[in-house]
Structure 1
């Protein structure tokens, strides 16, 4: 019997949809036929039921299938030219467009987490619910009744929040800025999207770290950019590598995450940061610093950011509340020269007329009244507890299986699997056992590495999750 080919780049659900459409077109299932239930077909093909659900949904969008409660899933009379002639070819539309879909691994992980709420989540780069300041936000709303107008606000962002950020960033990270040089965004990814769309052109060459979170973002490819990698060692990139890359490819921009880098957790030392800034200035190349994790430094001493060391205005600085306070508030910021901010603000206004002023208003009070300071201290303490529980699990359960880097900040472990394992098979075996993670190949790394989040799972889930991961690794070697 036919089985999906997991080595292909085509998503499993799409392979199943194509396979079923082929059987229908050759009359194996004539119009009016009842198809196998989603569960039955999933068992036959040895895939998750959610994958078959997605395949059937694809065929429904094409007008090939129709489903109704109590009747199951039936083949329409599209072969006779009735239904199909009235239904757009949604598959053609979905496969078109300039904005590429997420990587198959990312879609698979999100699908599993959406369908199975009891999954132990080592994949998400997000805080667990108990680390969000929910009670503080409720108190702020009671203490300060919202009195701002509910119309469109300044597309550059709520002015009081921008003023508050100027003081906060100068005090905590020694970043000097002005209200007019800050754009409030819905998070780091919107900041990156605006930079890619407004400051670069299709065909431009950009440099990213290897491995890099940027590699997992299809919006880089959607923008038509040529990506060139700067390999990482335990101290981040070697700035001298940039010179050769620039000479060969005329690099137009560099995207870096120098402090507690995602996914490796490495911190670039001061001498490399200064050398990088010197080289970038000599070559006239802007640096985009995605600074998500600096404030999580577990020892309470955040390493210097590139922006704080930048004397020539070369660095575009991207920050966010998502990883240190609340992803649900959707608050990020971008610091850049005023001419750049003006250009991005204009584009942003075309997209959505600016953020809602309600979350911006909450964020302003949250930061201004010192709640973010207390949140960061609380977060550091709790993350260290979870990190150390992971270390205990590594030593007791996976001592012979994984080699890991000890994170001194951030939310994740970067681990190398000591024996050869297929990424696809490991994901399958792990999800069967109720645990999920991100393979290193998502970030452009060679196979055999995985990223494990210690921020998302509950403390009591960590050791059971690592035990299931150990069983998955064992199953992959059989």
Structure 2
């Protein structure tokens, strides 16, 4: 067979493989009616073919009535192999749209998917680089557990007691006096927010939070029937004087705040502002959710005492986690509050998942009780300082005339304001096309100004420079 015929046969085989692949996804229900299938670019990459081969396969599937191209959406599943024989094919996408829990915003879904692409320069990820993962200590921890562990069973509703005891001792070192009975082990801080939203707040309640805030990119409260009301912030944190005004507008309210190394701005609420917030919370009878998952990631100086450390009246529900300091893979966090509240939320958690992973809870116990965790966090701070300083250096070299920023005292992020008029959605798309993933400010409720959030925690030092350099060229091309 000559080379020309062989190439033609290979192309035929490839487009048939692509068709069979897509058909199998549809037939097994993985891609339901109404779902968007992979893009032409992704299919070409997966099967290592050019786009024309992919187009041939898609045209055949369209001719068979399985998919349909829609403007601005790509190719959508319109039938499956059995529904072609019926008059009323089931569109599960209709059910998705009427579910109680709202989907993430489209751009947030795109970012979440792109964060798994190792070919991108990850300036979006809010997690530590694998270079900072303590692999040797983790292996030793798991080995130690293997020699001690017995059978696995369900833990008590509040979580593995030795872990709650270890968390209690750890929090005492942070100035927070709390007994194990007032601690609920959760699968990360996000689960704690979900439990609060369905267990403590009535539909129609309002969450008062910093604007911008990480919470605007989620629908955890809105899905439970709550609304969000933004409170302005400055370099010292939430402007507390606006809270009583908001309370008059929204009778049933709760405050959500990230006082230490705020996401996305990186600011730290001053000690004075924390005292004011507690005072207003008490006077206005508004409880507080304190999300303190970044507290240990200080670089220049330790942040002021947590609100919970000053809480004398049970006003504050306190969230902590190992996701940002150790690894998100453990899925271990904690919720601290009045015992009656913790008992109630523990019951709701048992109804939803019957407890967090027993293995993860034991690993976390070992880390907190052995001193591994405290040593690790010291090392992480040193590495974050190097990374932050490197990113600042490249920002000053490439973006000084194009943007402004405050140097964060800790945390994982730098909040950058672009000078001039730039379409942030266009900036995001062009950066992604150049292999750079970032978070545009509008997903955090920042609807004024030109903001992006960059992370210095995950990308390599070389990628930090490459990413900022590419951004500078794109911004220059967009500024009007």
In the TM superposition, structure 1's runs of 4+ consecutive aligned residues that sit over 6 Å from their partners are 73-81
Deviation at 1:251, TM superposition (A): 4.2
The change in CA–CA distance for 1:281 and 1:390 in structure 2 (over 3 A counts) is: same
Q: Distance in 2 between matches of 1:290 and 1:379?
A: 20
Aligned counterparts of 1:419 and 1:400: Cα–Cα separation in 2 = 11
Relative to structure 1, the CA distance from residue 109 to residue 83 in structure 2 (aligned partners, 3 Å threshold; closer, same or farther) is farther
Separation of aligned partners in 1, 2:182 and 2:43: 56
The structure-2 alpha-carbon separation of the partners of 1:276 and 1:36, relative to structure 1 and needing over 3 Å to count, comes to closer
Counterpart in the other structure of 1:128: 129
1:242 Cα deviation after fit: 0.7
Identify if the C-alpha distance between structure 1 residues 74 and 120 changes in structure 2 by more than 3 Å, giving closer, same or farther. closer
The equivalent of 1:11 in structure 2 is: none
How far 1:105 sits from its partner (Å)?
1.4
Q: Which of residues 146, 163, 166 is equivalent to 1:164?
A: 166
- Mapped to 2, the partners of 1:37 and 1:389 lie a distance apart of 36
Q: How much has 1:113 moved relative to structure 2?
A: 3.0
Q: Structure 2: any 5+ residue segments left out of the alignment?
A: 1-36, 45-50, 69-74
Q: Which moved more, 1:464-473 or 1:73-82?
A: 73-82
Partner of 1:356: 357
Distance 1:223 1:275 in 2: 29
Question: How do residues 1-12 of structure 1 correspond to structure 2 at under 5 angstroms?
Answer: none
Shift of 1:241: 1.0
1:172-202 C-alpha deviation (Å, 9 max, x unpaired) = x100100000000010100000001100111
State which of 458, 461, 472 in structure 1 corresponds to 2:460: 458
Q: After TM superposition, give the deviation of residue 144 of structure 1 in Å.
A: 3.3
**CA distance in structure 2 between the aligned counterparts of 1:75 and 1:308, rounded to whole angstroms:** 54
* Structure 1 partner of 2:253: 252
| Deviation of the 1:36 alpha carbon | 13
Q: Give unpaired runs (5+ residues) of structure 1.
A: 1-34, 43-48, 67-72
- Residue by residue over 1:293-314, the C-alpha shift from the partner in whole angstroms, topping out at 9 and shown as x without a partner, is 1111113523211001111110
TM-score for both structures, normalised by structure 1: 0.83
After superposition, give the CA deviation of every residue in 1:117-140 in whole Å (9 maximum; x if it has no partner).
Answer: 210001111111111222211011
CA contact (8 A) 2:83 2:90 kept: no
Aligned partner (choices 74, 89, 106) of residue 87 of structure 1: 89
2:110 maps to 108
Q: 1: CA distance between counterparts of 2:115 and 2:171?
A: 35
Distance 1:206 1:147, change over 3 A: same
Pair 1:81–1:292, CA change in 2 (3 A): closer
CA contact (8 A) 2:214 2:264 kept: yes
For residues 451-471 of structure 1, give each alpha carbon's deviation from its aligned partner in whole angstroms, at most 9, with x where no partner exists.
000001112211011111112
Shift of 1:409: 0.9
Work out the CA distance in 1 between the residues paired with 2:406 and 2:132: 24
1:188 has 2:189 as partner: yes
Shift in Å at residue 93 of structure 1?
A: 1.4
Alignment partners' CA distance in 2, 1:100 and 1:334: 24
What residue in structure 1 maps to residue 157 of structure 2?
155
- Distance (Å, rounded) in 2 between the aligned partners of 1:113 and 1:256: 26
The residue that corresponds to 2:198 in the other structure is: 197
Q: 1:325-379: CA deviations, max 9, x gaps?
A: 1111110000011111111011100111001210100110111111111111001
CA contact (8 A) 1:207 1:251 kept: no
TM-score (normalizing by structure 2): 0.83
Match of 1:22 in 2: none
Q: How does 1:410-425 map to 2 (within 5 A)?
A: 410-425=411-426
For residues 258 and 40 of structure 1, do their structure 2 counterparts lie closer, same or farther at Cα, with a shift above 3 Å needed?
A: closer
Write the deviation string for residues 191-231 of structure 1: whole angstroms up to 9, x where unpaired: 00000110011111221110011111111211111211101
Indicate conservation of the 8 Å contact 2:66/2:78, yes or no.
Answer: yes
Which residue of structure 2 aligns with residue 407 of structure 1? 408
Structure 1 residues 424 and 358, CA, compared in 2 at 3 Å: closer, same or farther?
same
Give the CA deviation at 1:474: 2.6
Partner SS for 1:376: helix
